[in-house]
Amino acid sequence: MSTATYAWQQLPGGPRLAVATVPDSECAALSIYVPAGSRDESSLPAGLAHFVEHMVFKGTSRRSARELSFEIENVGGQLNACTTEDHTVYEGRGEADGLPVLADVLADMVWHATFPEAEIALEREVIGEEITMYRENPSDHIGDLISAALWGNHPLGNPISGTPESIQQIDRSTLLDFRNRHHCRTDLIIAAAGPFTLAEVHRALKPHLPKQFHAPWQPLAFDPTATAPQHLTDERETDQLQLALAWHTPGRHHPLRNALRLLSLMLGESASSRLFLELREERGLCYQISSDITLFDETGAFEISAGLDPEARAEPRATRKWPPLGALRRTMRRSEAAGKPWLSRRRPSPRGPWMAPWA
């Protein structure tokens, strides 16, 4: 297995290009990272960034929606995309010699989608069904609840997909304005991996890049002092109780960011983590428990979530008496006391999950 080498450059007046050169690879991966997501909707309908992501697959001035898919699949490739709170990713993968096609089609989608009115109406129905699907799945819906509790009225607290009401407010003009504002920013990142150099990727991309990019857009900053702790519940008849706890943390540029990632790894990111061993393996209080750290530019969140035994809902829920929360506190106290030996044992492993870009 060949070792990858990494290189990047800021294109003159344009985005940053980053390339992982893997000489023996027979595959190509190309992604366009747009630094805008649901947190950039402060004065806009919730779900707009996600709606734009859906619509770029619906045709361009050169290709229909079907032609976009066929052209990639005809060279053994595939397309995908996702929207988060602070970025949207458009990606293509295929055989290494298909890089020119990946570059052409991805660029056409991201910068030349036409947003047909008929497709907008159809996609609004599709997204509405997606919202319903997530809402009716408690293990997904708990994520929206904890975000609302953690971020309050800030756009970070809005569901990424929006709400049935908010997506009705989104029209073609709103979609085009959001695309034009964010898809041609100089802080956009294009990343590629495969058996090619940075110069070779640049040559494949250059004919398809917009002629002009503009300055970055600054989203509404989050002020943690402006929010108070919140407790949100959604009661319904289910076979499992979902629980989530979250705390504000510093952002991705803070010196503590790596310590926070180690804390999450130690507490709940594997079957040998402290919370999993204590609450599931030893006490049988839950089927699933995990922790996660999410870092944004100026803020972040540390979260613990669990799917609890249905009988746990009948237990006393006073803060210090409910068994799952009591066990969680004891586990975290013991983790603090055993921190040094536990970190010594864990030291070789963090490199793995952190280096998996598509995990």
Q: Which sequence positions are flagged as catalytic?
A: 53
Q: How far is CA 285 from CA 50, 247, 313, 330, in A?
A: 36, 22, 11, 14
Q: Beta-strand (E) ranges in the chain?
A: 5-10, 16-21, 27-34, 78-83, 88-95, 189-194, 241-249, 286-295, 300-308
Q: Are 105 and 79 in contact (CB under 8 A)?
A: yes
Where does residue 252 rank: exposed (0-12), middle (13-18), buried (19+ CB within 10 A)? middle
Q: Are 83 and 53 in contact (CB under 8 A)?
A: yes
Cα 158 from Cα 42, distance rounded (Å): 10
For 56-137, where are the alpha helices, taking DSSP H only?
65-73, 99-112, 117-135
Locate 143 and state its tokens: 């994520």
Q: Are 90 and 32 in contact (CB under 8 A)?
A: yes
Cα 185 from Cα 47, distance rounded (Å): 20
Residue with tokens 């870092």, as numbered in its chain: 295
Q: Beta-strand (E) ranges in 202-240?
A: none
Locate 159 and state its tokens: 């569901």
Of 356, 351, 140, 147, which Cα lies nearest the Cα of 265?
A: 351
The 3-state DSSP class for residue 348 equals: coil
